[in-house]
Amino acid sequence: MKIKKYKKIFIAGHNGMVGSSILRFAKKNKLANEIITVNRDKLDLTDKLKTFNFLKKNSPEVVIICAAKVGGIFANNKYPADFLLNNLEIQNNIISGCHKLGIKKILFLGSSCIYPKFYYKKNKSFSEEHLLTGYLEQTNEPYAIAKISGIKLCESYNRQHNMDYRSIIPCNLYGPNDNYHPKNSHVIPALIRKFIYAKEKKMKEVFVWGSGNVKREFLHVDDLAKAVFIILSLTKKRYKNLTSEQQTHINVGSGKEISIKDLSKLICKIIKYDCILSFDKSKPDGTKSKLLNIKKILSTDWEPDISLSKGISSIIERKDYNF
C-alpha cells in the first residue's frame, strides 16, 4: 500500500518514545513538506488558549496526537488524578482546537488498557467491539478513562461534523527513547534496568513484581510508526468500512503474547546474565492478558517486522537506554 504524503504534519509529543519514532519515520520517508514539533517548555498542551493559538498559527494539515502523561502500575496507582486530568486536558485542547480551526484530519493514539479487565474469561483476544463492555483494570482506570474519552471525542466530531478523526489502539510498546525511570516505567524498560543493574552488582537473585504468570503483547515502536501512516493513508471510505460509526478505533499489535516470567528470562539471556528469578506476589499483576485482535490492521497490508528478541537485542546492543 502506498503511504500518502502531506504538506504539513503536527506531531504532538514528538520527544516521547512514540512521537520520536513517528518523527523519524516521517523524515526518513519524506512524508511531509513540513513537520511541526514543539517542546513542552515552549507549549503547555494543558493550556487551552495557548494550544489553540499554536494550532491557529501553524495550520497543520494533519495532527498526530502522541502527547500524554504515561507510566507503569506504580505511577498510575500513585497519581490517578494527574493521569486522568492531564490526559483529558491535552487531548481535549488539541481535538477541539482542530475542529474550531477546520483541521479535518487527526490520528489519536489510545492504549490497550481501554478494554475490559475480565475479557480473558470469554475471549482469546480484544476485538475493537469489546470497548465499554465491562469493568476496567483498577490499577490504570483513570488513564484508560481518559483514553476512551479521546477516542469518543474524535468519534463524536466525526458523527456530528463529518470530520476525519481516527484512533489506533497499540499494545504495549517498547524501543528507543523509552522511559527507564525506576518507578514510573513500563515492564520492558523496568526489567532491562533491573537486570543490567543486577548484573553489574553481581546479584545472584533478582525479584520481579507480581506472579510472573500474566501475559503481555509487545510491539516495537518503529512498527507502530509505520502503522500510523498506513492508517492515515487509507481513504475515508476505506477507514469507515473497516470501522463503524461508534467504534472508530483500530487495534495495532504483534499478535503474540509472552508471560512476564518468560520475558524476564529472555532479557537475562540477551544481556548474558544468569541469576535466580524470584517473583513478588504481594505486588499487583494488573490484567491477566491483553492480547489484541489485529485482523483489521493486517487487512491494510501492514504487519510487524521486528520480533521481540530482535527488538530487545537492538536496545541492548545500541545501549538505547538512559540510566
Q: Give the DSSP per-residue string, 108-122.
A: EE--GGGS-TTGGGT
Q: Give the DSSP per-residue string, 121-177.
A: GT-SSB-GGGTTSSPPPGGGHHHHHHHHHHHHHHHHHHHHH--EEEEEEE-EEE-TT
Residue closest to 127 by CA, chosen among 303, 290, 307, 302? 290
197 is catalytic: no
Q: Give the DSSP per-residue string, 274-287.
A: --EEEEETTS----
Identified catalytic residue from 143, 157, 174, 239: 143
Buried b (16+ CB within 10 A) or exposed e, 207-240: ebbbbbebbbbbbbbbbbbbbbbbbbbbeeeebe
Q: In whole angstroms, give the CA distance from residue 304 to residue 291.
A: 15
Which amino acid is located at 101 in the chain? L
Write out the catalytic residue numbers: 143
